[in-house]
Amino acid sequence: MRRQTVDERRTEILQTTCEVVIERGFAATRISDVANKLGGSTGLSHYHFDNKEMLLAEAFKFAARQDLERVAKRVAEASSAIAKLDRIFQLWAPEQDDYAWMLWIDSWGEALRNESMQEISQELDLQSKAQLEEIIRTGVTSKEFTCADPAGAAWRLSALADGLAIQMVAHSGTISRSGHRNHLRTAAIAELGLKATAFAPKPKR
């Protein structure tokens, strides 16, 4: 069998750590839990990561960047700014057993105690908000949107999306995916000077 490279082994450790975190949460995850799932010793994780805090932070970064890349790719497929906006609203709504959202939400709590997680969590949160801000600025340039403060609008809309997502993930049944999207659409209409019918389905020709 081909021997794994250092990068491949590191990726395997990060993927396995994410699996353990989904089962146990960041706070309850131990390096020994990851080692047991990998079928190796704790020394392997210590070889690649200085400590548990760094391992957890890097595992979250690994998973979150994949999520951000997935969203960016799907948004890029939409042709107009308003279509991109509605696409990101759709992608931001958690699905059932949405492990990506579980990691995002748990990372915010872990960031209160883990300095490495705080730094990485903040960096990735800002990248997520930047995706939305770019869409808003594109819409302003194309005159699809009217907004004097794209950065502020992006913060407010993303904060609403996060708050609704927490309710959906933590309190099952409180808000549906369509409800999440409709709340964001309503807020976007007010923020971006859109008509009330802006998100209505276009009539078929």
In a domain, 22, yes or no: no
Q: Give the pLDDT band of residue 9 (cuts 50, 70, 90).
A: confident
User: Into how many domains does the chain fold?
Assistant: 1
pLDDT at 203: 61
pLDDT digits (tens, 9 = 90+) for 119-143: 999 999 999 999 999 999 999 999 9
In a domain, 75, yes or no: yes
CATH number at residue 67: 1.10.357.10
pLDDT at 79: 92
In a domain, 12, yes or no: no
pLDDT digits (tens, 9 = 90+) for 53-108: 888 999 999 999 999 999 999 999 999 999 999 999 999 999 888 888 889 999 99
In a domain, 136, yes or no: yes
In a domain, 120, yes or no: yes
In a domain, 35, yes or no: no
In a domain, 50, yes or no: no
Query: What range defines the domain where residue 165 resides?
Result: 60-191
In a domain, 142, yes or no: yes
Print the SS3 string covering the chain. CCCCCHHHHHHHHHHHHHHHHHHHCCCCCCHHHHHHHHCCCHHHHHHHCCCHHHHHHHHHHHHHHHHHHHHHHHHHCCCCHHHHHHHHHHHHCCCCCCHHHHHHHHHHHHHCCCHHHHHHHHHHHHHHHHHHHHHHHHHHHCCCCCCCCHHHHHHHHHHHHHHHHHHHHHCCCCCCHHHHHHHHHHHHHHHCCCCCCCCCCCCCC
